[in-house]
Structure 1
Amino acid sequence: MRLKADPRPIVPPSLRRPREFAAGPEHLPLPALHHPNVQLGPPTAMTFEIVLTFLVRLSLVLLFLPFSALDKVLNFDDATKQASQATSRPAFARALILTGLFIEVVMSLGVLTGVADRLAALVLAVYCATTALLFKQFWRAPDFRMLGPSRGRETMWDFLKNFAVAGGFLLITFGTTAGSVGNFFHAPLSSTNPYTIGTTR
């Protein structure tokens, strides 16, 4: 009796698939994070990550809410006089202060809560840059110099601090990488979902 030759190629043991995988990819084991026996904690739990995220955002808006906003309410006349540096019309100066108050309260809450926080952070960044250009014009100070006492140089530091804070807000708007910039232009009113655990924005 003649034996028939096996037409299948001989595969070395080192290249053979494990028996549990032989039936196809549909029988591969589930990853641990998606395994039905693995229980994940609630994403909204009050964890260290959420508290730290809140504190980071709070540090950005703390200058505006509550301190600067409260100062405008308690010292409205003085704030209006300061706004008069940008305009000679008292009514327009008051409108500037009220607009600033609205931005400092509403947009800061947007950054803290994550509601349309991309747009809210952009508005605050523009607000910081605008107030720097209007009220921190160090280059016009008659005593501006880099050596020795100079009020103009002190104003320059305030000018640069405004833009530093604006940069922090822009990181919320556009993200920390080039790949995340398009998220804002795709959906300007979207949220970064800052308190969601397990996703990267």
Structure 2
Amino acid sequence: MNRRENFTAGFIRENPVFSLYLGICSTLAISTSLNNAIGMGVAVIVVLILSNVLISALRKITPNEIRIPVYIVVIAALVKIIQMVIKAYAPSLDTALGVFIPLIVVNCIILGRAEAFASKNGIFDSALDGLGMGLGYMFALIVMSSIRQILATGILSFSNPFNIEQTIFSIKIIPEDYIISLFSQPFGAFCTFALLAAAVAGYKNYKVNKAKAAAKEAK
């Protein structure tokens, strides 16, 4: 793949949540509000880019036998820094995300990109891969949290993560009589994920079948 294809792969074709099914636990748990989705998404993007850059820079001097422990140490150090920054400047977001911030260390997306891409490619390409995959993960979180928040509360809202009392926007979409509070529960998370994953799989199958049909016509 060229750089453009590599960067955009994480959006649909290799979306870490809906195509590769990575990081599902955190996605299901925190996708109850747009605030949680954007906060977690930004944290993962920062860790992905920095970990990919560092691991790519160290790839030629890292012994193959200890590469996984090295990856984990690098990722754990970055996650701790991010956690301390969030705790200092956005304590309400830190409380909302809870244990899922430190659990970024064992997020399959982070370690997977380190092993599959950063350890084999240059610094710039690795940073681009981290940004693309991170944006794909945040896109999945935003879509899931928006659907769940609207169906569960009837309102799509976003607050300042540094001052939770300051609402940036709040849009009432569904009348209170028609909300489905079940979507704020785990069952709603699984339903939303299943429907979105099925939609992505259907789209990918459509593209494959369309390409096959075009190839047959060309013959």
- Whichever structure has more strand as a proportion of its residues is 2
- Whichever structure has more helix as a proportion of its residues is 2
TM-score surpassing 0.5? no
Q: TM-score, normalised by structure 1?
A: 0.28
Instruction: Say which one has the larger Rg.
Output: 1
Larger RCO (CA within 8 A; separation ≥ 6): 2
